[in-house]
Chain A
Amino acid sequence: MGRYLGRKFFIYSLTFIFAVTINWLIPRFMPGDPIMVLISRFAGLPEATKVIHSYLTKAFQLDLPIWRQYLNFWKALLRGDLGISIYLYPKPVMEAIAEAIPYTLVVLLPAILVSWILGNGIGAIAARRRRLDSTLLPLFYILTATPYLWLGILLAWGLGVVLRAFPIAGAYGFSLQPELSLRFILDFLHHWILPFLSLCLVMLGGWAIGMRNMIIYELEANYSRYLESLGASQRLIRRYAFRNAVLPQVTGLALQLGTIVAGQVTTEVVFSYPGIGYLLLQGILNQDYFLIQGCFLFIVIGVLLANFFVDLAYVFIDPRVRYAYSGGR
């Protein structure tokens, strides 16, 4: 078990190093000299000369040898220094990201959780009933094929504009300040529902399809057939199949994370929801490279952490992994 997690940790560390390296490499070696673009963009801002001298030279240090530049980049990073945002000048990128992260998580995590649980449940039911299966399955396929952002737009238009049931932009009303009052919380939830729904529904389709296929596969496994030969009820057979089918769905969670993150980013853009995705959009529209890089790094870190948690969970729920790496007990 320790070995298993150790191995995973090793891969994730490499991944992190790889991501940071890309982050360092790309602005330096892309065509079009992005660093000059960056410097010229800073030039227009107040107190720019000071910034350019104090920060940009330090950040890029183009006069130093390459390996020194790389090393210093790491040093700055480990101090939590991701540069200064142009768009939110003079806010440090780190600060901007720290403010955005809660908004992203508050939509993302419940959406993943709810869709995973509901999707697995519905998929399991579909695997049981032919009729239901043949009507639900096409629906699930359409759902997974829907771009998150388009479902978001449709929901915003249908529920937000036509029915006027929900607000379609921002995380809370303009007149409010974040505080722990009932009024704020209700307003927050009101804004939260549509982004949550569009994320949740698309994911739901994928989980349901996965679960349905896995259950059908498990029901054809030898152990299911043998249980049947010994007269076990369908209830017991299904219970076993369900449990074993859930295991790959947990791994699926890790595998799907990339697409889910993409969905989150675009959904935030649709609803102007002030999370990382929205921040990223601002960075892109304003050619704010420090901001883009910071968002990239944090997305990677988030995904790495999530992967690690999934691995950890997997060790606890699948005895095969637990024993395969502990060499007996």
Chain B
Amino acid sequence: MLEVRDLRVYYRTLKGHVQAVDGVSFSILPRETLGIAGESGCGKSTLANALVLLKPPMEYIGGKVFLGKDELPIADYDAMRRFRYRRISLIPQYAMDALNPTRKLGRIFRDLVMDLGIPFDGDLKRKLRERLEFVNLPQTVLRMYPFELSGGMRQRVVMVQASLLDPEVMFADEITSALDVSTQKAVVIMLQGFVREGFVGSLAFITHDLSVLYQIADRVLVMYAGKVAEILPCEKLIGGCRHPYTKLLLSSLPKVGLRHTEHPLVGIPGQPPALLSPPKGCRFRERCPEAFERCTEEPPLLEVGPGHLVACWGETGDA
């Protein structure tokens, strides 16, 4: 189980700090799939990357992260090495070219595992074969170079690689975005299988597409401009969401059942704020139809129901 408390990770740039992840708190329970949603540029990838590999230009500003009983030293590059891959893993947004183009895949698997000081023995090899089968890849891919596979196949290879050491938490960043609808479905089913079979302890599934989340997630975290807007159980998403942003996100979907991957947010007028110097208070307020004076102050994250948190002044009853 993963617990993140008030995490702040900024990008250091010449013009100042880009506040890409600014006071984010959430937890992922064992065997759970948490969906993380939000517009492009709201800090989803930054969040995932920071938890796995925090290096310049990212800068750790504050917050704590716990994985099981241990505190994750995310700001300490070397101390984190113990946790990466073995206990917390990542399928990156660029999964389709995350593999060294001039090594055969079998070699890539072996090199990495041996580099971590883990013997690449019969057990692990068997596991590798099983997992390849699980994601519908033939064993022969191990003797191929990455460029011999299609983008989708490469992505599945990365899925296998990321989960090979049975991490407690795995982040899957936008892995369905570049796929067609039927392949999306297959990948989602595979990932559900990963959790069910215990390949990964729990899964954080990042996307900007709420309709995909609806299929896979147990709970949903909605991010807006580097902050948490709402966390809610998935079944409450439709009909039970409270944050104006979540509502707008949902209403901008054409219809449940109809998939909608391109420009899902055309329905929300305005642009998200620049994270270089975001406005004080609620960052959504300029686009929010329900905004009022209080929104110039930072909204608290309130629990409005079991497992349901909302960061909105509208929930305080002062409106």
Contacts and interface: CB of A to CB of B under 8 A. Distances in A.
Nearest to B92: A226
Contacts of A244: 100-102
A227 B98 CA distance: 8
B102 A230 contact: no
A244 B100 CA distance: 9
Contacts of B102: 243-244, 247, 318-320
B89 interface: yes
A260 B98 CA distance: 37
Nearest to A218: B100
B53 A319 contact: no
Nearest to B162: A230
B116 A231 contact: yes
Contacts of A228: 53, 55
Question: Is the interface on chain B under 10, 10 to 19, 20 to 34, or 35 or more residues?
Answer: 20 to 34
Contacts of A230: 84-85, 89-90, 112, 161-162
A232 B158 CA distance: 15
Interface in A238-252: 240, 243-244, 247
B148 A323 contact: yes
Interface string B155-186: 00010011000000000000000000000000
Given A240-B103, A320-B145, A320-B147, A231 B85 contact: yes
A183 interface: no
A230 B94 CA distance: 14
A222 interface: yes
A328 interface: yes
**Most B Cβ at <10 Å: residue of A225, A240, A319, A323:** A319
A243 B102 CA distance: 8
Contact of A232 (B89, B116, B145): B116
Query: Which of A222, A233, A247, A318 has the most B CB atoms < 10 Å from its CB?
Result: A222
A282 B83 CA distance: 70
Interface string B71-95: 0000000001111111001101010
Most buried by A among B101, B158, B161: B101
Interface string B285-301: 00000000000000000
A53 interface: no
B130 interface: no
Contacts of A181: none
Contacts of B115: 232-233, 235-236
Contacts of B303: none
Interface residues of A, number: 22
A229 interface: yes
A223 interface: yes
A320 B92 contact: no
B89 to A, nearest CB: 7
A1 to B, nearest CB: 14
Given A230-B89, A231-B85, A328-B148, A222 B116 contact: no
A319 B52 CA distance: 31
Given A320-B147, A328-B148, A225 B53 contact: yes
Nearest to A244: B102
A120 B227 CA distance: 47
Contacts of B84: 229-231
Contacts of A247: 102
B195 interface: no
A235 B115 CA distance: 9
A140 to B, nearest CB: 26
Contacts of A243: 102
B166 to A, nearest CB: 14
A229 B100 contact: no
B133 interface: no
A235 to B, nearest CB: 7
B235 interface: no
Given A229-B92, A328-B148, 14 more contacts: A222-B92, A222-B98, A223-B98, A223-B101, A226-B99, A229-B53, A229-B85, A230-B112, A231-B116, A244-B101, A318-B102, A320-B102, A323-B145, A323-B148
Interface of B: 49, 52-53, 55, 80-86, 89-90, 92, 94, 97-103, 111-112, 115-116, 145, 147-148, 158, 161-162
25 contacts: A223-B97, A223-B98, A223-B99, A223-B100, A223-B101, A226-B92, A226-B98, A229-B84, A229-B90, A230-B90, A230-B112, A230-B162, A231-B86, A231-B116, A232-B112, A235-B115, A236-B111, A243-B102, A244-B102, A319-B102, A319-B145, A319-B147, A320-B102, A320-B147, A323-B147
